[in-house]
Amino acid sequence: MEFEIWWLLCIPVFFGLGWIAARVDIKQLLSESRSLPRGYFKGLNFLLNEQPDKAIDAFIEIVKLDPETADLHFALGNLFRRRGETERAIRMHQNLLLRPDLPQEQQIQARYELGQDFLKAGLLDRAEDVFKNLTETQYNTTARRALLEIFQREKEWEQAIHAAEALQDSGAGSRQKEIAQFYCEMAQDQLINTHPEKAMPLLERALKVDRLNVRATILLGDALIAQGRVDDAIATWRRIEKQSMPHIVLVAQRLMDAYLKTERSKEGISLLKSYLAEASSIDLLEVVFQALIKYENVEAANTLVLDELKRTPTLLGLDKLLEARMMIASPEARQDLSMVKNLVHGYASKLARYQCDHCGFQARQFYWQCPGCHLWETYPPRRTEELNLSA
């Protein structure tokens, strides 16, 4: 019993000590807050109320009165950059770097912020120089990411590969997908310049880095076609079946054209019909539809579209069905069908877009790199109407 009473007597003592400590902390906080300029709280209040213009004016006044305030320089520079006033942001961070008494840690921070200013302003060469000097600092990972972005924007693909490999080696995650795409970009440039023999080793490296890279397989087939190796190209494009069946639509027309060159149109149509049965696709349907009309008959095309429409009812499919029906309809019926088709086509064309999985950016053509968020391989090879049906 005596032990319990002893501890009860200690409670007021502990309470008193806590009260004294709290009073000391409050006095210290009040003394520190009195040392801050009134404009600081005024600017902070403007920021909290989402009034950046007034906040900037308040902070500028403080900087004029106390030029040594580094933290406010950083705050102002970031505000200017967010507002798109990159020239003012650059001046703010450059002024900081001119101070001889600036601690090394803040010097590094100022260089990093200056690099971000240059990047935002599109001064890529100057941004590159800044970030290269930050790769051995605490900003190593973010600086390497910035360098990777710069090299991609400049289309310096070899440097982008080295930057991605360095970023990967630093423990920032795998960059295999991007590296393979950079090799594809280099190979595509060679194909455009009619150098398929130079493109092929680049594509082989891309596939070595990422064996599931569909784009590399597509371009490898293109290089073989450019060299007159049609059968090899067909065999290469057919590898996409194992890489990603939905992406087979991207080479459907190439495959059909290659089979036509070897006078095997029926074999080509049969292959594409088997793909369509396995992976329903509006774009694939279009290729098979046109091939049937040209090399078989309209009735076969009509039957194909009707069966596909029953399996996957879409406006884009209905548009194809109406096109087929118009070809076999009487002149009187054709006029009515034409009116309905025009109406359906108008709505269907709005749904015939590809959409980025990451940012939602829509485009009429397929992109390997999204024009919106600039990420790689974020476009599914299916139109938005098909995606909505499968969702």
- Ligand-binding annotation for 359, yes or no, is yes
Would residue 263 be called left, alpha or beta, if left means φ above 0 and alpha means ψ between -120 and 50 degrees? left
- Ligand-binding annotation for 184, yes or no, is no
Q: Is the dihedral of CA 40, 45, 47, 53 positive or negative?
A: negative
Burial 26-41 (b: 16+ CB within 10 A, else e): eeeeeeeeeeebebbe
Is residue 143 within 8 Å of 149, Cβ to Cβ?
A: no
Amino acid at 156: E
| Residue 372 DSSP label | T
Is residue 95 within 8 Å of 73, Cβ to Cβ?
A: yes
| Residue 381 DSSP label | S
Amino acid at 54: K
The size of the chain, in residues, is: 391
Is residue 271 within 8 Å of 255, Cβ to Cβ?
A: yes
Binding-site residues, please?
A: 356, 359, 370, 373
Binding-site residues for Fe cation, please?
A: 356, 359, 370, 373
